[in-house]
Amino acid sequence: MITTPFLAEGGKFYMSRYFVKRILETIPLMLVISIFVFMFIHLIPGDPARTIAGLDAEESQVEAIREEYGLNKPIVSQYVDYMVKLFKGDMGRSMKSNVPVSDLIADRMPQTLKLVLAGIIWAPVLGIFIGVVSAINHGKALDHICMLIAIMGLSAPGFWLGLMGIQIFSVELGWLPSGGLDTWKGFVLPSFTMGCGIMAVLARYSRSSMLETLREDYVRTARAKGQKESMVMFAHAFRNSLIQVVTILGLQIGGLLSGSVLTETVFSIPGIGRLLTDSIQFRDYAVTQGLLMMFALQYVLINLIVDLLYGVINPKIRLD
């Protein structure tokens, strides 16, 4: 039973040690991930040098490209070269655009971050709100309506939502631009398209999580003790229901940071999602590797933060 959000002195000490342990664990984890990522990418059929040079290029040019990017070396030595450079901070060069991978990511990441921000500013809040309202009014009309909204948000394909949005608000009404994040108006449609799915997922999760916690003994006890209903709801039930929600939210944000290629394509946003799919299509190994490693790291870090948040929400949670 929680009575206070503050950590006890002993709990705080415990958290830091745990925190350090988790961070150290990420290093071997990332190493294993790097091996898998590298191997899988190189196993995909298709010759990158030929793809980059173009079908009409001379064989000598293709060969020269292979030499320059070390594609003729055995795969293990290519891996070692890559990892050594990575530790020095060099992510390699894009074969397609002939620029350093880090430059490409630096160019594109802000766009994706802006999009992620636009998505998570409203969607989780609205989603959790709908879910909680649903749970509190479990079985009544409000519950059904809220869940209907959630289902619609889940089922509407983002692609379709986006194009419909452009057609109505951009072409017909002329209120919003058809693409790009140059003005604040440009954020509205992409943010809505991306946020719908998140809102829907969180609505359902927070509802089921809230329903579960509402059934817990300590909630009944709190009520029996005469606590105000709003206090029961907020301080006890809702707080604890957040555990599940935070987990899901973490995963959703991790997914968003990997870029949403659909939203980026429909709204012509040069983000990370499109960079990834383009790099796969062109067998641009360095870019694909760099991005996948970055995404893996992001997920690992987000999981870490989520685990920390558990502690804040409920200090009694032991996560060994």
Partner 1 sequence: MKKLSFLLAVIMALTFTACGGGNNGGNTANTDTKQEETTKTEEKTEEKKEASTATSPDNDLVIAMQADATHLDPHVSGNGVSNTVTNAMYESLVTFDADTNIVPMLAKEWTMSEDGKSYTFTLNEGVTFHDGEPFNAEAVIANWERGQADQTLRIYSQTKAWVNAVADSEYQLTITLDQPNNTFLNKLTQVRIVSPKAIKELGKDGLAKASAGTGPYIFSERVDGGYTKMVRNENYWREGPKVDTLTFKVVPEDGARIAMLQTGEADIITPVPPIQVEKIANNSDIIVQNEKGITYRYVTLNKNYTLADGRKPFDDVRVRQAMNYAFDSEAFCQVVFQGYAVKPTSIFSSSIMYYAEQTPYDKDLDKAKALMEEAGYADGFPVTIWVDNTTIEMQGAEFVKQQMAEINIDVNVEPQESTVIADRTSAPEDQTEVQMWYVNWSSGSYEADGSMRSILHGDKYPPAGYNTAFYNNAEFNKLLDDALVATDSAEIAELYSKAQAIAWEECPWIFLANDNSISAMRSYVKGLTYKPGGDIVFTTAELAQ
Q: Name the residue among 14, 110, 78 with its Cα closest to residue 289.
A: 78
Helix (H, G, I), strand (E, B), or coil: what is residue 193? helix
* Six token digits for residue 141: 């009309």
Distances (CA, A) of 224 to 4, 137, 164, 219, 228: 19, 20, 52, 9, 10
Rounded to whole angstroms, the Cα distance separating 291 from 144 reads: 41
User: Tokens 């590797």 appear where?
Assistant: 289
Shortest CB 42 distance to partner 1, Å: 14
In angstroms, what is the minimal distance from the CB of 123 to partner 1? 22
Number of CB atoms found within 10 A of residue 309's CB: 16
Give whichever of 172 and 320 is closer to partner 1, judged by the CB atom: 172
CB of 113 to partner 1, least distance (A): 14
- Closer residue to partner 1, CB minimum distance, 78 or 265: 265
Phi, psi values for residue 138, rounded to 5°: -50, 125
Compare residues 27 and 55 and give the one whose CB is closer to partner 1: 55
- Smallest gap from residue 104 Cβ to partner 1 (A): 6
Number of neighbouring beta carbons within 10 Å of residue 70? 12
Q: Is 212 helix (H, G, I), strand (E, B) or coil?
A: helix
248: which 2 tokens?
């899901």
Gap between the Cα atoms of 229 and 281, Å rounded: 56
List residues near partner 1 by CB under 8 A. 45-47, 50-51, 54-61, 64-65, 67-68, 96-99, 103-104, 107-108, 111, 139, 144, 147-148, 163, 166-167, 170-171, 174, 177-180, 265-270, 274-275, 278, 281-283
- The HSE-up count of residue 139 (CA atoms within 13 Å, CB side) is 1
CB 121, min distance to partner 1, A: 23
Residue 284 and residue 94 in contact, taking contact as beta carbons nearer than 8 Å: yes
Residue 68 Cβ, how far from partner 1 at the closest point, in Å? 5
Q: Looking at this protein, which amino acid is placed at residue 241? A: S
Looking at the Cβ atoms of 143 and 212, the one nearer to partner 1 is 143
| Cα R_g (the chain), whole angstroms | 24
Minimum distance from CB of 144 to partner 1 (Å)? 5
Query: Is the Cβ of residue 163 or residue 304 nearer to partner 1 in the bound state?
Result: 163
Beta carbon nearer to partner 1, 5 or 110: 110
Q: Which is nearer to partner 1, 275 or 293 (CB)?
A: 275
Nearer to partner 1, 144 or 316 (CB): 144
Which residue type is seen at 216? E
Shortest distance, CB of residue 167 to partner 1, whole angstroms?
Answer: 7
The residues with which 93 forms a beta bridge, in sequence order, are 100
